[in-house]
Amino acid sequence: MAGSYRMIEGVVVLAAMVAAGPVVALLSGDVYQLAVFERALIYAVAAASLNMILGFGGMVSFGHAVYLGIGCYATGILANADILPIWIQLPVVMAASALVALFIGLIVLRTSGVYFIMITLALAQIFYYLAVSSSYFGGDDGMVIYERTTLLWGYDPFDSWHFYFFVAGITVLCLLLVNHLVRSDFGRRLVACRENPTRATALGFNVFAVRLVGFVLAGVICGIAGFLLANQAEFATPGYASWQRSGELLVIVILGGVGTRFGPVYGAFAFVLLESVLAGYTTHWPILFGPFLICVVMFFHKGLAGLVDRLIPGRARAG
């Protein structure tokens, strides 16, 4: 019973997530609305990867956006060199993010608590300033990406509908992957290492290795989000790897519900949609968003995911 409920819930959430953009675009007759939802989907992937190490691994990374930047620049550099097929671009993006995550992970995983947060931030800033100072890749001004990734014959990357479903398809695959990982044998070991590292070590788990694998996997998945972002924005800027962006990802995870299955999806949609609506009224939209975030955190256990759980009749409250 529980298993089939989980499956129905998963199908409903993912279907609603994919359908939201097209429904709005068709109703408003404005195909450019799709772009807003593409951004929400991309943020959902990035936030889901952060949720994996934050919610399940207990690792508060304050530099997670660095992989958005890595994925974005890797894609942009390949695209501008006219290397467009996805089966070349995506493996390169994944390998690049994995290497950076490995480098960062090997350093930060020797620390914990506040030090972990600060050092992830510091290391991410190194890559941010690398991008800022690299005049070859546009430096502070960023880099225009002239071509989008190609997939198969018949796929037109510059057709709004084609491209939307390209983003949505990869998003669904990434979310399913994250969901699988946290429920896998490995995922449970990751939780064990969060819950009681002393005991996990005494049982024979190598806590450092388990965390490092989780950290690198999260980096790779966030790199894929960067790959999508490069295609969507047709632009790569150091700003994608900035600490503000890392902060936004944390906000999305916390808003959606830390350690919940679909929290990152709820959080990303709430964040991007509110941003695009509120920004229409005022450039000081964070003044309105801040109190909203505080209310959600104060009144709903487990963020928006907790709220959704409460709204579904007959569903036992989690936790």
- Of 122, 67, 108, nearest in space to 245 by CA: 67
Q: How far is the CB of 197 from another protein (least distance, A)?
A: 10
Binding mask 203-242 for another protein (x = CB under 8 A): xxxxx-xx--x---x-------------------------
Say if CB 143 and CB 237 are below 8 A apart.
Answer: yes
Contact string (CB under 8 A) for another protein, positions 46-75, x = contact? ------------------------------
Of 49 and 89, which CB lies nearer to another protein in the complex structure? 49
Distance CA 123, CA 100 (A): 10
CB 142 within 8 A of CB 238: yes
| Residue 196: alpha-carbon gap to chain centroid | 27
**Nearest-5° angle of CA 173, CA 259, CA 68?**
50
CA-to-CA separations, 284 to 1, 246, 255, 279, in angstroms, rounded: 47, 20, 20, 7
Tokens of 6: 């989980």
Mutual angle of helices 2-28 and 160-183, in 10-degree steps: 160
Intra-chain end-to-end CA distance of the chain, in Å = 19
Q: How far is the CB of 211 from another protein (least distance, A)?
A: 10
For another protein, give the closer residue by CB, 109 or 249.
109
Give the residue with the Cβ less far from another protein, 181 or 293: 181
> Side chain identity at 174, as an amino acid letter?
C
Nearer to another protein, 82 or 185 (CB): 185
CB of 100 to another protein, least distance (A): 20
Rounded to an integer, what distance in angstroms lies between the CA atom of residue 122 and that of residue 118? 6
In the region spanning residues 150 to 209, those forming contacts with another protein, defined by CB under 8 A, are 181, 183-189, 191-192, 195-196, 198-207, 209
Q: To the nearest 10°, the Cα dihedral for 43, 219, 149, 155? A: -60
Q: Which is nearer to another protein, 151 or 213 (CB)?
A: 213
Compute the least distance from the CB of residue 102 to another protein, in Å: 14
Per-residue contact string for residues 283-312; x = within reach of another protein by CB under 8 A: ------------------------------
Supply the minimum distance, in Å, between the C-beta of residue 319 and another protein: 9
- Return the H-helix or E-strand segment holding 236: strand 235-236
**Least distance (Å) from another protein to the CB of residue 181?**
7
- Residue 213 or 297 having the CB closest to another protein: 213
Minimum CB separation from another protein for residue 91, in Å?
A: 17
For binding to another protein (CB under 8 A), which residues are involved?
A: 181, 183-189, 191-192, 195-196, 198-207, 209-210, 213, 217
